[in-house]
A = this chain, B = another copy of it.
Amino acid sequence: MTESVARAPLSSSAAAHTGRAAALARTLLDDIPMARAMDLSVAAYTGAVLTLAAPLAPNINDKGCAFGGSLNSLMTLAGWGLIKLAADERGIAGEIYVKDSTIRYLAPVWQDFSAIAQLAEGESFAKFFDALATRGKARLGVRCSVPLAEGGDAATLDARFVALLKR
């Protein structure tokens, strides 16, 4: 396989990722009033990592930095969206919901911010969708973070999601 041929599916996959991520953003903004109030957007999607973004202004707290509830919401939606996009890519119709999560607030955020979601260590979409196909229900751990501009994290979220197969 020549390099140019090898690149074609990658590039087409990247375009498909972008298209699906844009559709996800429309769904979130259309269906969840708080996502609109936060002025959420999709910043990037690679197939393995989903990054959502929000401006500071609508998301400030009484101290003028980012409201913890907004950090939590953006990270939780990033985790949910990561799994939703992976299901969409595989043509799997599932009901996905968050079961529990632990959030750590590490530093205040004084700027527009983003939330990055990826699978937790030891998790894989292959195992998850196999379990979903076999048992009609599966769990998946996701690790999310809000990076600081100067390095490190302002907040982290370890969340467990459940998916139920729609038959």
Which A residues fall within an 8 A CB radius of B? 27-28, 31-34, 37-38, 57-63, 67-70, 72-73, 76-77, 95, 97-105
Contacts and interface: CB of A to CB of B under 8 A. Distances in A.
Given A68-B98, A100-B105, A59 B73 contact: no
6 contacts: A28-B62, A63-B95, A68-B97, A68-B98, A99-B104, A102-B103
A141 to B, nearest CB: 14
A34 B67 contact: yes
B102 A98 contact: no
A84 to B, nearest CB: 9
A77 B61 CA distance: 11
A69 B60 contact: no
Contacts of A100: 102-105
